């Protein structure tokens, strides 16, 4: 056991700290793709604090893949109000996929503007009749005159209302078995025939959408991997998504905010943190956060020391992280009681209504990215070696 | 950076597991529980030969001088094998108490004997954490009076280390006059518990504990980690056995492991348990290397692992159906071990309260 990153990293940490300190008051403003956001993103890339290991020719910093340095950057940024780099499905899912499986032209065309935040992507996977059973999807793609002609419907497509591009799963080989008939296509969102309709969520926001695709035509080259290999390509990205949904370090920050809240909220003049029942719930959540942090250290260590195995540790992150986060945000609401139900612009609102927002949002993440029931299937089948569901006749 | 067990730690763990696998089958555990003391002694000897008594004794006193992570690895393996032998008290808490708070003379007298497996010291520290039935001891005129409940590893001990309410530690040879021993029967008969009633029994202070609580606290932290590791080991067996049973038992013409309800029970157990391994390692590392975090980590580990252990001991029993409820299968040995570990040295609620105070939440 050695939790030191080693003296060779001390200089690096000093350097990151100095950058963070110098920039903590920077204000990044405007909507996605605003000049201010793109400039800040580029500054972070230029310093190697974002897209660090992505080659220069694709718009990254071009550093070597040093996980400890990435971790130090994440730690120092987390401690400060400095604006964080942009994320999103393009950066988290599409870029790694293209790096792994894209053609040279695709890498050159898409990675740089995606990293810079100039292209927003959406993920067109789910369909009305294909959610957990994603591989049953029916949106159809036919190759006619060197163009894919796409017809069908997608749903729950997050950020589609803002996106310039969509990475989309489409059935192109209708006669092949269901997993082998899918292709991974890249669709410009301004192509004629795409109709987006926002869906309002329980939070009141409308971040996700229905997409109707009617004779949408895109070049034949807008495919990642070969025809019929889309399932494999998509699975490369699903892994990236699952790891990123509930970072225990972010949960720890939320826990610290919860502690502050419990010290400032009072009932009959007594601080909520002094009420034993509430305090016990806080402490048991804190114990769980610490357990997940230890688990994250083990995963980190397995990335640095490839001989170390951590399969199960990785498989449980999405399930455990999203459930814990939902419960943590929910405790804050109980701490505030009636005040905890206030929302939007209400008088007496605490912390901008963020607790209710997150409480609902994390319920969404329990469902999105593969429901937590599906996560349990994955854990039992892939990590514990238990049998798959028997096939039902005709399904 | 490397987070995990070293090759040496893994091989120690494997050796102990293998020893118990070969020498402490369920049938043998059952005979020990039913009173076969020779068998228990034999297993105890075998484990001493593998080093469990010398781990925590410093090298200058004839021990191996290993760190807390080694000690938790052993505790985990003993829990995995429901080892019917002393450990947390006699071989971790006692040598630790002597090493950090004992006088040179006390160390010279006891540590080499502990290392060699020639002396057992029971540890009675429950009242420091929370006294039931007005138990507790007073020290005056070089002697101790009062009662200690749930003394760990106290059966047939050569001496006791006990604590008063303010964390002062006392060493009392078991042949001193004024000591009455009452055997307690807990659900977990793979380990022993006793009550000691002292009436003016001659006692020596461990001098390093007399004006501050840090020695007692460290001993408690270490004990809690051993119990946590024991629970994690026991819960891991229960999960492993559940998965194996689900892949063997058929109902409705199919393996019960193909029923999603059963798969999900197993997945939930795995998802809860896997981080507990890391947490125990992390807490052990902190106890030796990160003093500012070590108390809080030990508290949280004991409380959290106890909750997870309780859930797994229930769920694993359910996965086995009626078989799970039988004596024959023996799953209940781990169930009960987890049950005892949960209460010893503080139940989760008490410990979480302690963790709250450690962070100044009461201020
Ligand atoms: C906030 C949010 C954002 C999303 N963003 C996107 C996005 O950007 N792009 C995109 O393509 N999709 C997105 N989704 C869709 C998401 O991936 C699906 O909602 C999810 O996979 C579940 O599919 P479903 O909604 O059709 O539910 P269903 O699959 O119908 O599930 C309903 C219930 O049945 C259970 N169930 C289904 N199958 C099984 C099984 N085999 N075993 C046990 N239980 C089962 C589920 O766990 C669930 O409880 C998003 C969803 C949410 C909530």
pLDDT in tens, A355-376: 999 999 999 999 998 899 999 9
From residue B143, give the alpha-carbon distance in Å to each of B102, B126, B171: 17, 19, 10
Candidates A8, A69, A262, A291: best to mutate against B (most CBs of B within 10 A) is A291
Do B71 and B199 sit in the same domain of this protein? Answer: no
Do B182 and B220 sit in the same domain of this protein? Answer: no
Q: Which domain holds residue B321?
A: 214-358
The mean pLDDT of chain A is 93
Band of pLDDT at residue A241, cut at 50, 70 and 90: low
CA–CA separation, A51 and A42 (whole Å): 10
Q: Decide if B2 is inside a domain.
A: no
CA–CA separation, A187 and A194 (whole Å): 10
Query: How many CB atoms neighbour CB A218 within 10 A?
Result: 19
Is the per-residue pLDDT at A389 higher than 90? no
Do B94 and B182 sit in the same domain of this protein? Answer: no
Q: What is the CATH number of the domain that holds B197?
A: 2.40.110.10
Band of pLDDT at residue A47, cut at 50, 70 and 90: very high
Do B237 and B333 sit in the same domain of this protein? Answer: yes
- Ligand 1 centroid to B272 CA: how many Å? 23
Do B41 and B65 sit in the same domain of this protein? Answer: yes
Is the per-residue pLDDT at A245 higher than 80? no
pLDDT in tens, B22-59: 999 999 999 999 999 999 999 999 999 999 999 999 99
Is the per-residue pLDDT at A153 higher than 80? yes
Q: What are phi and psi of B317, to 5 degrees?
A: -65, -40
From residue B11, give the alpha-carbon distance in Å to each of A20, B6, B22, B81, B166: 44, 9, 16, 16, 40
pLDDT in tens, A48-58: 999 999 999 99
Q: Decide if B363 is inside a domain.
A: no
Confidence (pLDDT) at B363: 85
| ipTM for the complex shown | 0.86
Do B169 and B230 sit in the same domain of this protein? Answer: no
CA–CA separation, A46 and A64 (whole Å): 14
User: Are A386 and B258 a contacting pair at CB < 8 A?
Assistant: yes
Do B109 and B126 sit in the same domain of this protein? Answer: no
Strand, coil or helix: A386: coil
Confidence (pLDDT) at A93: 92
In chain A, residues with a C-beta closer than 8 Å to the C-beta of B300 are: 283, 286-287, 290-291
CA–CA separation, A296 and A383 (whole Å): 17
Confidence (pLDDT) at A246: 79
* Chain-centre distance for alpha carbon B195: 17
What parts of chain B have a pLDDT lower than 70? none
Q: What is the CATH number of the domain that holds B46?
A: 1.10.540.10
Q: Say what angle helices B68-80 and B7-23 make with each other, to 10 degrees.
A: 30
Is the per-residue pLDDT at A27 higher than 70? yes
pLDDT in tens, A3-16: 989 898 999 999 99
Is the per-residue pLDDT at A301 higher than 90? yes
Residue keyed to tokens 């709250």 = B356
- Structural domains counted in chain B: 3
User: Are A386 and B303 a contacting pair at CB < 8 A?
Assistant: no
Q: What is the CATH number of the domain that holds B246?
A: 1.20.140.10
**Average pLDDT rounded to a whole number, residues A252-278:** 94
Domains of chain A, CATH where assigned: 7-86 (no CATH), 120-230 (2.40.110.10), 245-383 (1.20.140.10)
Where a domain ends, among B191, B209, B227?
Answer: B209
By CB atoms closer than 10 A (0-12, 13-18, 19+), residue A138 is middle
pLDDT in tens, B209-222: 998 899 999 999 99
CA–CA separation, A62 and A393 (whole Å): 52
Q: Decide if B126 is inside a domain.
A: yes
Q: Decide if B1 is inside a domain.
A: no
- Determine which one of A241, A265, A327, A389 is catalytic: A241
**Average pLDDT rounded to a whole number, residues A60-67:** 91
Band of pLDDT at residue A395, cut at 50, 70 and 90: low
User: Could you tell me the sign of the dihedral formed by the alpha carbons of B321, B322, B324, B325, in that order?
Assistant: positive
Q: Which residues pair with A143 in a beta bridge?
A: A148
Where a domain ends, among B209, B237, B255?
Answer: B209
Does the annotation mark A381 as catalytic?
A: no
Do B202 and B240 sit in the same domain of this protein? Answer: no
Do B186 and B256 sit in the same domain of this protein? Answer: no
CA–CA separation, A252 and A50 (whole Å): 22
User: Are B258 and A274 a contacting pair at CB < 8 A?
Assistant: no
């Amino acid at each position: 056991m050695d939790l030191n990153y080693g003296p060779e990293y001390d200089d690096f940490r000093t350097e990151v700290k100095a950058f963070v300190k110098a920039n903590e008051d920077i204000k990044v403003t405007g909507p996605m793709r605003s000049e201010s956001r793109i400039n800040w993103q580029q500054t972070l890339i230029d310093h190697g604090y974002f897209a660090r290991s992505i080659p220069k020719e694709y718009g990254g910093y071009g550093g070597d893949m040093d996980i400890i340095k990435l971790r130090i950057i994440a730690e120092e940024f987390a401690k400060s109000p400095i604006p964080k780099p942009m994320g999103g499905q393009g950066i988290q899912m599409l870029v790694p996929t293209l790096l792994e499986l894209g053609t040279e032209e695709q890498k050159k065309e898409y990675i740089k503007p995606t990293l810079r935040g100039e292209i927003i992507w959406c993920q067109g996977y789910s369909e009305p009749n294909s959610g957990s059973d994603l591989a049953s999807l029916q949106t159809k793609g036919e190759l006619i005159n060197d163009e894919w002609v796409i017809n069908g419907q997608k749903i729950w497509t997050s950020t589609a209302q803002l996106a310039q591009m969509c990475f989309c799963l489409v059935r192109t080989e209708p006669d092949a078995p269901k997993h082998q008939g899918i292709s991974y296509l890249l669709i410009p969102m301004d192509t004629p025939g795409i109709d987006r309709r926002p869906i309002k969520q329980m939070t009141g926001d409308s971040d996700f959408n229905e997409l109707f695709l009617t004779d949408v035509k895109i070049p034949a080259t807008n495919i990642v991997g070969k025809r019929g290999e889309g399932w494999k390509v998509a699975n490369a990205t699903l892994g990236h998504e699952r790891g990123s949904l509930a970072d225990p370090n972010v949960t720890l920050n939320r826990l610290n905010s919860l502690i502050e809240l419990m010290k400032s909220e009072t009932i009959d003049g007594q601080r909520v943190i002094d009420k034993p029942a509430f305090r016990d719930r806080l402490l048991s959540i804190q114990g769980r956060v610490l357990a997940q942090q230890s688990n994250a250290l083990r995963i980190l260590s397995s990335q640095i020391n490839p001989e170390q195995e951590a399969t199960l540790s990785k498989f449980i992150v999405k399930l455990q992280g999203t459930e814990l986060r939902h419960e943590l945000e929910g405790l804050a609401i109980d701490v505030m009681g009636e005040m905890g139900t206030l929302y939007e612009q209400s008088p007496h609102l605490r912390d901008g209504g963020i607790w209710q927002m997150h409480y609902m949002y994390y319920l969404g993440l329990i469902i999105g990215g593969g429901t937590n029931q599906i996560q349990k299937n994955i854990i039992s089948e892939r990590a514990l070696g238990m049998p798959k569901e028997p096939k039902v006749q005709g399904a | 950076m490397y987070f995990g067990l070293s090759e040496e730690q893994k091989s120690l763990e494997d050796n102990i597991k293998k020893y118990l696998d070969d020498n402490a089958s369920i049938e043998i555990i059952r005979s020990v529980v039913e009173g076969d003391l020779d068998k228990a002694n034999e297993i105890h000897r075998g484990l001493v030969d593998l080093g469990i008594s010398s781990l925590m004794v410093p090298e200058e006193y004839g021990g191996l001088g290993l760190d807390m992570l080694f000690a938790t690895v052993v505790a985990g393996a003993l829990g995995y094998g429901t080892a019917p032998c002393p450990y947390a008290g006699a071989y971790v808490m006692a040598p630790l108490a002597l090493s950090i708070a004992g006088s040179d003379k006390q160390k010279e007298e006891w540590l080499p004997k502990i290392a060699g497996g020639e002396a057992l010291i029971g540890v009675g520290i429950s009242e420091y954490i929370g006294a039931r039935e007005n138990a507790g001891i007073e020290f005056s005129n070089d002697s101790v009076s009062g009662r200690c409940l749930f003394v760990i590893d106290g059966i047939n001990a050569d001496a006791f280390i006990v604590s008063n309410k303010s964390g002062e530690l006392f060493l009392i040879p078991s042949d001193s006059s004024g000591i009455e021993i009452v055997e307690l029967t807990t659900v977990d008969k793979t380990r022993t518990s006793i009550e000691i009633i002292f009436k003016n029994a001659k006692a020596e202070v461990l001098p390093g504990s007399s004006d501050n609580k840090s020695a007692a606290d460290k001993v408690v932290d270490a004990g809690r980690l051993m119990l946590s590791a024991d629970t994690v080991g026991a819960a891991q067996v229960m999960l492993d056995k559940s998965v194996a049973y689900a892949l063997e038992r058929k109902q409705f013409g199919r393996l019960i492991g193909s029923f999603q309800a059963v798969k999900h029970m197993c997945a939930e157990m795995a998802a809860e348990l896997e981080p507990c391994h890391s947490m125990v390692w992390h807490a052990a590392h902190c106890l030796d290397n990160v003093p500012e975090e070590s108390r809080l980590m030990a508290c949280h580990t004991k409380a959290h692992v106890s909750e997870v252990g309780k859930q797994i001991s229930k769920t694993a029993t359910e996965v086995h159906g009626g078989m799970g409820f039988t004596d024959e299968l023996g799953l209940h040995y781990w169930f009960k071990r987890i049950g005892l570990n949960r209460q010893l040295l503080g139940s989760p609620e008490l410990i979480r309260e302690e963790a709250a105070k450690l962070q100044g939440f009461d201020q």
